[in-house]
């Protein structure tokens, strides 16, 4: 997840289009975060609670997919408006 966050932050400073393609492997490394988290958490839960754990994790991913873009679009709007005044 750190790779993905680092890649997203570095997107703000990209000045040439080819850099986006060069960063694709870094984004790909970010995609292994959730399966790794699931692997670590399944070891902490009994076998009869695995379904509940996977449901909670899937629910958290769904909430992040819904509220993440809303939250960061608000941040983008705020930063853009502040930068326009500077």
Domain residue limits, the chain: 1-31, 34-86
Q: In the Cβ-directed half-sphere of 30, how many Cα atoms lie within 13 Å? A: 14
Reported confidence tier of residue 55, pLDDT bands at 50, 70, 90: very high
- State how far the alpha carbon of 80 is from the alpha carbons of 1, 15, 71, in Å: 26, 17, 14
Minimum mean pLDDT among 21-25, 44-48, 79-83: which range?
A: 79-83
Residue 16 in tokens: 């040439």
Contact 61, 41 (CB under 8 A): no
State residue 62's pLDDT score. Answer: 92
User: Which phi-psi region, left, alpha or beta, contains residue 52 (left: φ > 0; alpha: ψ -120 to 50)?
Assistant: alpha
The pTM (predicted TM-score) of the whole model is 0.61
């Amino acid at each position: 997840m750190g790779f993905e966050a680092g890649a997203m932050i570095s997107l703000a400073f990209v000045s040439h289009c080819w850099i986006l393609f060069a960063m694709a492997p870094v984004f790909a490394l970010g995609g292994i975060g959730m399966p790794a988290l699931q692997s670590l958490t399944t070891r902490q839960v009994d076998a009869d609670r695995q379904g509940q754990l996977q449901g909670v994790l899937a629910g958290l991913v769904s909430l992040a997919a819904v509220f993440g873009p809303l939250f960061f679009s608000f941040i983008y709007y705020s930063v853009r408006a502040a930068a326009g005044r500077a």
